[in-house]
């Protein structure tokens, strides 16, 4: 509602929407003026590590023909590389240890060899970005419709349906 955000971003994503819904001024400072609070969010860092590992695992299995166990091992390595030397709050459930457990547990629950959900486009639907204009919602600067964008961990195919997959949600 306020004029906090100039220039208007070319693409609106879920992070921007969440920031503005929690506090318009905070959203404007973070995404309009590029003034964010210092530090890395544990939730975003954990999710980024999971996404990095999932991408490597799926590409190794579906595109490179690696075995499931080798693909998962490569994915765990990628998740650990993403985690790096990050030290989060010690009183939270999300940690380096639980990252490994969560990642390993995912593929025990949904083994690559038998999971009916497969990456679309011949395996190329892994880490898939999108941007969709919303004609009914115009940009406040008069430069056309708002464009909503994001990234799926995978565009999957399941029983003839195309599904956007995002493990973090």
Q: What is the 3-state secondary structure (H, E, C) of 40-97?
A: CCHHHHHHHHHHHHHHHHHHHHHHCCCCHHHHHHHHHHHHHHHHCCCCCCCCCCCCHH
Q: Quick one: residue 75, left, alpha or beta (phi over 0 = left, psi -120 to 50 = alpha)?
A: alpha
Whole-angstrom distance, CA of residue 12 vs CA of residue 142: 15
Q: Which tokens is 166 given?
A: 């995002």
In terms of pTM, does the model score above 0.75? Answer: yes
What distance, in Å, lies between the first and last C-alpha atoms of the chain?
Answer: 28
pLDDT of residue 155: 94
pLDDT of residue 4: 44
pLDDT of residue 76: 95
User: By C-alpha distance, which of 150, 82, 152, 151 is closest to 117?
Assistant: 152
User: By C-alpha distance, which of 151, 76, 160, 80 is closest to 118?
Assistant: 160
pLDDT of residue 42: 87
pLDDT of residue 5: 46
pLDDT of residue 1: 44
The per-residue pLDDT string of the chain (169 residues; one tens digit each, 9 = 90 and over) reads 454 445 678 899 988 888 888 888 877 777 777 776 666 788 889 989 999 999 999 999 999 999 999 999 999 999 999 999 988 787 788 988 899 999 889 999 999 999 999 999 988 899 988 999 999 989 888 888 999 999 999 999 999 999 999 886 4
């Amino acid at each position: 509602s306020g004029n906090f955000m100039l220039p208007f971003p070319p693409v609106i994503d879920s992070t921007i929407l969440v920031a503005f819904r929690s506090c318009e001024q905070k959203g404007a400072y973070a995404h309009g003026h590029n003034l964010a609070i210092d530090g890395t969010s544990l939730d975003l860092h954990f999710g980024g590590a999971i996404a990095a590992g999932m991408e490597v695992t799926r590409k190794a299995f579906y595109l490179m023909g690696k075995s499931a166990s080798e693909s998962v091992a490569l994915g765990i390595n990628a998740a650990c590389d993403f985690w790096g030397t990050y030290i989060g709050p010690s009183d939270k459930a999300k940690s380096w240890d639980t990252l490994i457990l969560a990642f390993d547990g995912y593929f025990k629950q949904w083994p690559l060899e038998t999971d009916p959900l497969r990456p679309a486009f011949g395996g190329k639907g892994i880490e898939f970005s999108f941007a969709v204009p919303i004609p009914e919602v115009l940009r406040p600067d008069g430069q056309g419709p708002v464009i909503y964008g994001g990234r799926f961990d995978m565009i999957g195919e399941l029983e003839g349906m195309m599904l956007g997959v995002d493990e973090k949600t």
